[in-house]
């Protein structure tokens, strides 16, 4: 969803070409190697850049290594959280700090390959605002890949965005996209959806993916339950936040009409002496549907009242204003 305020529609000529944002929690074993790989690629690319490491409250020696890297390399910028706030929070703060005309995000565990950076940036130039990496040949345990396929399929189906891999850590953005996205909770899984609904042109590119070399994944099985709830949040807030009654009202009315029809039918039968209502469970079903219907319409109306509190001109993504 789009942030309410303060993004510039006309970008001032940025000095810096690329910001690389790396969120990390307890990744001490891979940081030096990652930094080295990024440096090699960026030296070859001959563009100005910064690497923003966002330490999500690591408990291992990650921060010590980051301090070292910061001392050795002027491209390195480090943000350290006081405690673990999560990957979305780390990305969000990294986005806020980023000064580049373009931004690339990548995981710190070496599963994403810095060699992909130039290709992703090229893909952006084909009239896209966001290029999401696609882990086409994925090197993860099957317990992760199967649910993830299902998720990607459902998300694609529900949103109509034709990409295969929504939650790839490796993504490239035009600077204005990240300044506008509001990533909180665990919504980093649905960044392409949020960007798409804000009006940005989202594309994808197949990228190399490696097995995790050091350490272990930072997300447990709960990722799938939370991921599902977050999908609901994203679908609801992107489509219906400004017109909640359209969602709740439709289902409320359908439920109310179905319930009324059922009970009316049973009441007529009862009046004609054909049935006794005490042994018709269907009567209760009808009753329930009527109550649910009224509830839904009421929730929709409450939603409309909340929507009214917003300023009507806020929250829309503006590409340009000519004055
Ligand atoms: N990460 C983080 N905070 C968290 C969880 C993960 O900053 O609370 C970072 C992690 O260090 C890594 C990236 O997010 O750089 C992706 O995490 P991970 O590799 O554990 O996810 P997976 O590859 O299993 O989806
Ligand atoms: Mg990983």
Here the tokens at position 97 are: 């700090």
Mutate-to-test residue for ligand 1 from 25, 63, 92, highest number of ligand atoms within 8 A of CB: 25
What is the C-alpha separation between 90 and 16, in angstroms, rounded? 21
Q: Is the dihedral of CA 44, 16, 106, 150 positive or negative?
A: negative
| 132 torsion bin: left (phi>0), alpha (psi -120 to 50), beta (else) | beta
Q: Determine phi and psi for 174, rounding to 5 degrees.
A: -75, 145
Mean pLDDT of 253-259: 98
Q: Are 256 and 297 in contact (CB under 8 A)?
A: yes
Instruction: Label the pairing between strands 102-105 and 171-174.
Output: antiparallel
Nearest CA to ligand 1 atom 18: 217
Reported as a pLDDT band with limits 50, 70 and 90, residue 10 is: very low
In this predicted structure, which of 7-11, 216-220, 223-227, 236-240 has the lowest mean pLDDT? 7-11
Mean pLDDT of 151-164: 94
Q: Give percent of the chain with pLDDT exceeding 70.
A: 96
Mutate-to-test residue for ligand 1 from 219, 223, 224, highest number of ligand atoms within 8 A of CB: 219
Q: Report which ligand 1 atom has the smallest distance to the Cα of 109.
A: 15
Reported as a pLDDT band with limits 50, 70 and 90, residue 1 is: very low
What is the C-alpha separation between 297 and 193, in angstroms, rounded? 27
Ligand (nearest to CA of 148):
1
Reported as a pLDDT band with limits 50, 70 and 90, residue 220 is: confident
State pLDDT tens for residues 304-314.
999 999 888 88
Per-residue b or e along 236-258, where b marks 16 or more CB atoms closer than 10 Å to that residue's CB: eebebbeebbebbbeebeebbeb
Q: Report which ligand 1 atom has the smallest distance to the Cα of 55.
A: 7
pLDDT at 200 over 60: yes
Q: What pLDDT is recorded for position 13?
A: 53
Q: Are 204 and 116 in contact (CB under 8 A)?
A: no
Distance (angstroms) between ligand 2 centre and the Cα of 111 equals 6
Q: Are 248 and 296 in contact (CB under 8 A)?
A: yes
State pLDDT tens for residues 69-94.
999 999 999 999 999 999 999 999 99
DSSP 114: G
State pLDDT tens for residues 112-156.
999 999 999 999 998 999 999 999 999 999 989 999 999 999 999
Q: What pLDDT is recorded for position 197?
A: 95
Mutate-to-test residue for ligand 1 from 56, 84, 87, highest number of ligand atoms within 8 A of CB: 87
Q: What pLDDT is recorded for position 14?
A: 54
Mean pLDDT of 277-290: 94
Nearest CA to ligand 1 atom 9: 24
pLDDT at 177 over 80: yes
Contacts made by residues 71-80, CB under 8 angstroms, sequence distance 24+: 73/35, 73/39, 75/39, 75/42, 75/49, 75/50, 75/51, 76/35, 76/50, 76/51, 77/50, 77/51, 77/52, 77/53, 78/52, 78/53, 78/54, 79/52, 79/53, 79/54, 79/55, 80/55
Residues with C-beta less than 6 Å from any ligand 1 atom: 23-25, 27, 56, 84, 86-87, 90, 107-109, 111, 169, 217-219
Nearest CA to ligand 1 atom 8: 86
């Amino acid at each position: 969803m789009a942030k309410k305020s303060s993004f510039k529609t006309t970008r001032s000529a940025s000095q810096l070409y690329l910001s690389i944002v790396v969120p990390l929690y307890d990744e001490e074993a891979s940081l030096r190697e990652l930094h080295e790989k990024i440096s090699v690629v960026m030296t070859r690319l001959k563009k100005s850049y910064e690497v923003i490491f966002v330490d999500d409250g690591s408990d291992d020696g990650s921060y010590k290594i980051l301090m070292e890297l910061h001392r050795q390399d002027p491209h390195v910028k480090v943000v350290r959280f006081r405690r673990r706030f999560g990957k979305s929070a780390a990305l969000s703060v990294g986005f806020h700090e980023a000064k580049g005309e373009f931004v690339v995000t990548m995981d710190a565990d070496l599963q994403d390959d810095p060699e992909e950076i130039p290709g992703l940036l090229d893909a952006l130039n084909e009239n896209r605002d966001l290029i999401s990496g696609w882990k086409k040949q994925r090197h993860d345990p099957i317990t992760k890949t199967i649910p993830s396929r299902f998720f990607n399929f459902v998300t694609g189906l529900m949103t109509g965005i034709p990409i295969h891999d929504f939650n790839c850590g490796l993504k490239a953005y035009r600077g204005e996209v990240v300044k506008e996205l509001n990533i909180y909770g665990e919504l980093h899984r649905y960044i392409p959806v949020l960007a798409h609904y804000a009006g940005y042109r989202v594309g994808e590119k197949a990228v190399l993916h490696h097995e995790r070399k050091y350490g272990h994944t930072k997300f447990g099985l709960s990722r799938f339950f939370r991921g599902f709830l977050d999908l609901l949040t994203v679908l609801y807030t992107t489509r219906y936040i400004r017109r909640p009654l359209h969602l709740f009202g439709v289902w409320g009315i359908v439920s109310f009409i179905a319930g009324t029809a059922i009970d009316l039918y049973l009441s007529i039968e009862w009046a004609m002496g054909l049935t006794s209502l005490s042994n018709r469970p269907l009567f209760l079903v009808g009753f329930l549907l009527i109550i649910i219907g009224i509830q839904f319409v009421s929730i929709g109306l409450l939603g409309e009242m909340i929507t009214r509190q917003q300023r009507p001109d806020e929250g829309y993504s503006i590409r340009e204003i000519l004055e």
